[in-house]
Amino acid sequence: MLDVVDLATEEDGLRPALAPVASVSRRQAVLAQIRRGIVVGALRPGDKLTELSLAADLQVSRATVREALGQLAQEGLVVSEPYRGLRVADLDTAALRDLASTRAALDDLAAGAILDDPTGRRLDAVRTAWAAFEATAFDDDPVVRHEGHLAFHRAVWSAAENVVLDQLWPVIQAHITIALAQDQAARHDPERSHRLHRDLVDALESGDEGRVRAAFREHTLTSVDELIALRSAHGTAPETEPAPHGRTTA
Amino acid sequence: MLDVVDLATEEDGLRPALAPVASVSRRQAVLAQIRRGIVVGALRPGDKLTELSLAADLQVSRATVREALGQLAQEGLVVSEPYRGLRVADLDTAALRDLASTRAALDDLAAGAILDDPTGRRLDAVRTAWAAFEATAFDDDPVVRHEGHLAFHRAVWSAAENVVLDQLWPVIQAHITIALAQDQAARHDPERSHRLHRDLVDALESGDEGRVRAAFREHTLTSVDELIALRSAHGTAPETEPAPHGRTTA
DNA sequence: GAGCAGTGGATTGTCAGACAATCGCCGTGC
DNA sequence: GCACGGCGATTGTCTGACAATCCACTGCTC
């Protein structure tokens, strides 16, 4: 199911000055592996994940796997049906639209905060993020591109210096991951992705609030519209919510 | 530290027709106890939570406590400093403002979705939630009032029928809980709370989008402003972020 | 007296193995 | 044909143990 390679990969968004060394904890390595499996398509929406087999595949104890799965369930990357098992989450068309509108609202908030900053520090953070994005945008590894993409959007939220926004990010990230993974094979156009995101940065640089708002809104909404179109053409569109999104949470 | 009473309390937002029976899982009971401890002030921001002592107090195994704490950390109700321990989260003034602006953005989104519904089903859900709120608004137990309050706002988001919004709620709920718990003793004015929330429902009933937007925005922003004023007068305002909000997450 | 390595206690991180609880399924008997 | 009870699979929880890490303290050196 999952390859047991490099269980020590790092997925930190930062760029340490000297040594990335290794993953701090085993749990994070498990998280990275499962996420990677979803991104590369080894784990498809609806696939069942059992603690025991994952523990065997990844060579860690069941407790560790269990903690990782709990975290992923809370993010929404997997859904847990109590006593029945966990499955990789799926998003129907309505959920994709929900994701888009929610992202739009929060991107607006973040962009507004970035423009509101008189010191320019927040805009600087965006510039740094953009540089990082450019470094990965044309990488051969789709996982690297995906993580670079997510890191950019996360950095934009982080640049807003809104602690609540930071805390909401993992949930949004999980949903973006699922949405993109489904059609990951179909649409990998690095040039286009690069241009789309540069538009965002350019808009922020211009300082024109209307333009920024429009740019983010279009970025999010059009990409989701394309995803919906793609999958309905592709014929693999779940029309209704496949699982009622049962949460372990409460 | 925590009383070991009624470990089987239920915190479900619904009103089952016949039998609430008992908490489904031990973990949820632990979650409820810790949350309750924070709401009633037995656990104050900055208090250290150790797995071992919690396990002893609550008479469950360390593994169960650990899972609950992990979930609370992801919600942001407690912050985890790796290998050092967990503490009840604290919010400085800036974080309170962040919470307000983020809530405002998402409340806007939810309200818009509710108004957009031609069938009236979503508005009906709000009416139901309002009825439930009224049933708890004047309860003697501050925990019941708190949970009723949260349940109402959650129900408004839920009424929007946006699955992403639903998934974001736990994080927001945790932050609201911390914000309110700090001054829970100072401001319990059920009449006022009842009036403030009825204004929201009335605005939604009117169907006037501008009015709804204004009502929600004012509801959130003014209550946070009051909290900030209260605590700065109270003299217990953490001016800067006390802990850098370290996440276990990734 | 100040700086610094060494040491130990406290706490989390991870492991292994076990048992109970719950679910879906399937065969049995009527 | 269908209620019913057992059965396998999987999660939920427990126990006890050990490793890893951080912090504070100690004692040594200069």
Per-residue confidence (pLDDT) for residue B187, from 0 to 100: 67
- In degrees to the nearest 10, what's the CA dihedral of A94, A100, A105, A106? 120
Chain A residues within 8 A of B68 when measuring between CB atoms: none
Residue B66, classed as helix, strand or coil, is helix
Average of per-residue pLDDT values in chain B: 84
Q: What is the pLDDT of residues B100-137, one digit of tens each?
A: 999 999 999 999 999 999 999 999 999 999 999 999 99
Neighbours of A208 (CB within 10 A): 13
Residue A48, classed as helix, strand or coil, is strand
Per-residue confidence (pLDDT) for residue B181, from 0 to 100: 85
Residues of chain A with CATH 1.20.120.530: 93-233
Taking an 8 Å cut-off on Cβ atoms, the answer to whether A164 and B171 are in contact is yes
Per-residue confidence (pLDDT) for residue B232, from 0 to 100: 74
Q: For residue A236, say whether its CB is under 7 Å from any atom of strand C.
A: no
pLDDT exceeding 90 applies to what percent of chain A?
A: 68
pLDDT reading at A234 higher than 70? no
Q: For residue A27, say whether its CB is under 7 Å from any atom of strand C.
A: yes
pLDDT band at A225 (very low <50, low <70, confident <90, very high): confident
pLDDT band at B234 (very low <50, low <70, confident <90, very high): low
Measured CA to CA in angstroms, residue B168 lies from B96, B160, B171 at distances of 17, 13, 6
d(CA A161, CA A109): 11
Angle at B135 between CA B133 and CA B137, to 5 degrees: 60
Average of per-residue pLDDT values in chain A: 84
- B48: which nucleotide lies closest, measuring CA to C1'? C11
Chain B residues within 8 A of A24 when measuring between CB atoms: 82
Per-residue confidence (pLDDT) for residue A107, from 0 to 100: 97
What value does the mean pLDDT take over residues A169-184?
90
| A13–chain B nearest CA distance, Å | 9
pLDDT band at B12 (very low <50, low <70, confident <90, very high): very low
pLDDT band at A10 (very low <50, low <70, confident <90, very high): very low
pLDDT reading at B15 higher than 90? no
Q: For residue A244, say whether its CB is under 7 Å from any atom of strand C.
A: no
Q: Which residue has the tokens 């530290």?
A: B1
- Angstrom distance, B165 CA to C21 C1': 32
Per-residue confidence (pLDDT) for residue B231, from 0 to 100: 76
What value does the mean pLDDT take over residues B62-68?
96
Taking an 8 Å cut-off on Cβ atoms, the answer to whether A247 and B167 are in contact is yes
Residues of chain A with CATH 1.10.10.10: 10-88
Maximum CA pair distance of chain A? Answer: 54
Residue A205, classed as helix, strand or coil, is helix
Taking an 8 Å cut-off on Cβ atoms, the answer to whether A175 and B168 are in contact is no
pLDDT reading at A90 higher than 90? yes
CB B30 within 8 A of CB B64: yes
| A81–chain B nearest CA distance, Å | 13
pLDDT band at B247 (very low <50, low <70, confident <90, very high): very low
Angle at B242 between CA B240 and CA B248, to 5 degrees: 130
Measured CA to CA in angstroms, residue B61 lies from A154, B28, B64, B67 at distances of 37, 13, 5, 10
What value does the mean pLDDT take over residues B211-236?
84
- Specify the DSSP element, H or E, that contains B214: helix B209-234
pLDDT band at B242 (very low <50, low <70, confident <90, very high): very low
Compute the residue count for chain B: 250
d(CA B134, CA B140): 13
d(CA A163, CA A151): 16
pLDDT exceeding 70 applies to what percent of chain A?
A: 82
d(CA A35, CA A160): 26
Taking an 8 Å cut-off on Cβ atoms, the answer to whether A245 and B11 are in contact is no
Q: What is the pLDDT of residues A119-164, one digit of tens each?
A: 999 999 999 999 999 999 999 998 999 999 999 999 999 999 999 9
CATH topology of domain B10-88: Arc Repressor Mutant, subunit A (1.10.10)
Runs of H (alpha helix) within B117-189: 121-136, 142-159, 163-182
Comparing CB atoms, the residue among B70, B165, B167 nearest residue A67 is B70
Q: For residue B63, say whether its CB is under 7 Å from any atom of strand C.
A: yes
In chain A, the residue whose alpha carbon lies closest to the alpha carbon of B28 is A250
Strands B48-49 and B85-88: antiparallel
Q: Which residue has the tokens 């319990």?
A: B188
pLDDT reading at B155 higher than 50? yes
Residues 79-118 of A with CB under 7 A from strand C: 82-84
- In degrees to the nearest 10, what's the CA dihedral of B14, B15, B19, B21? 40
Chain B interface test: which of A23, A167, A173, A178 (most B C-beta within 10 Å): A167
| B98–chain A nearest CA distance, Å | 5
CATH topology of domain A93-233: Four Helix Bundle (Hemerythrin (Met), subunit A) (1.20.120)
pLDDT reading at B22 higher than 90? no
